[in-house]
């Protein structure tokens, strides 16, 4: 049995009545760590994470799905976690992001839009001997290695 698929079904069942919440990923490592990342359009509470953990744990135990010792960790994606899903990109429109491309180039700017084809950011372009100018740049989704939200401490 595929544990990750089974747990995905359990999480989706638990959050079915909460359209503001969405599953980002489920990973089960060989050392017994079951990591579940759930996010929300307005974030996710500790109570929601605990309820999901109890629901998943109850069903895993009742059906004896995992035969060895394991740990369940339910959390929201951390600030260092790359954006993966359309809802994550949309939720972060207006925030500053760092985009890493396949050819190694890196760009930073305000996330303006997301489509299934790509993203548009407003970045500052500095050219030697000229004023810094703002430019809207489109990046094809297939050319993006990762996109992370930048946290400002100003």
* Domain final position from 46, 75, 104: 75
Residue 120, pLDDT score: 97
Residue 87, pLDDT score: 94
Q: Which residues of the chain have pLDDT under 50?
A: none
Give the helix, strand, coil percentages of the chain, each rounded to 5. 25, 40, 35
On whether both 95 and 71 belong to a single domain, the answer is no
On whether both 60 and 26 belong to a single domain, the answer is yes
Residue 71, pLDDT score: 95
Please state the pTM of the whole predicted model.
Answer: 0.81
Q: Nearest to residue 78, comparing CAs of 48, 41, 123, 38?
A: 38
| Residue-level length of the chain | 154
Residue 110, pLDDT score: 97
| Distances 101 to 87, 132, 147 between C-alpha atoms, Å | 21, 22, 9
Three-state secondary structure call for residue 110 = strand
Three-state secondary structure call for residue 71 = strand
The rounded mean pLDDT for the chain is 94
CA distance 93 to 105: 21
**Is residue 19 assigned to a domain?**
yes
Residue 8, pLDDT score: 97
On whether both 32 and 62 belong to a single domain, the answer is yes
Residue 9, pLDDT score: 96
**Is residue 36 assigned to a domain?**
yes
Residue 107, pLDDT score: 96
Residues of the domain holding 15: 3-75
* Domain final position from 48, 75, 102: 75
Residue 153, pLDDT score: 76
On whether both 71 and 95 belong to a single domain, the answer is no
């Amino acid at each position: 049995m595929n544990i990750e698929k089974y747990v995905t079904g359990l999480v989706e069942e638990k959050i079915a009545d909460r359209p503001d919440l969405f599953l980002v990923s489920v990973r089960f490592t060989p050392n017994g760590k079951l990591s579940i990342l759930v996010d929300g359009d307005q974030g996710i509470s500790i109570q929601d994470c605990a309820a999901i953990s109890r629901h998943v744990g109850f069903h895993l135990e009742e059906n004896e799905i995992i035969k060895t010792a394991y740990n369940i960790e339910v959390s929201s994606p951390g600030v260092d976690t790359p954006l993966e899903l359309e809802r994550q990109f949309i939720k972060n429109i207006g925030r500053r992001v760092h985009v890493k491309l396949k050819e190694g180039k890196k760009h930073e700017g305000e996330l303006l839009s997301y489509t299934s084809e790509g993203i548009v950011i407003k970045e500052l372009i500095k050219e030697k001997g000229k004023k810094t100018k703002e430019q809207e740049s489109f990046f094809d989704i297939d050319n993006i290695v990762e996109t992370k939200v930048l946290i400002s401490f100003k």
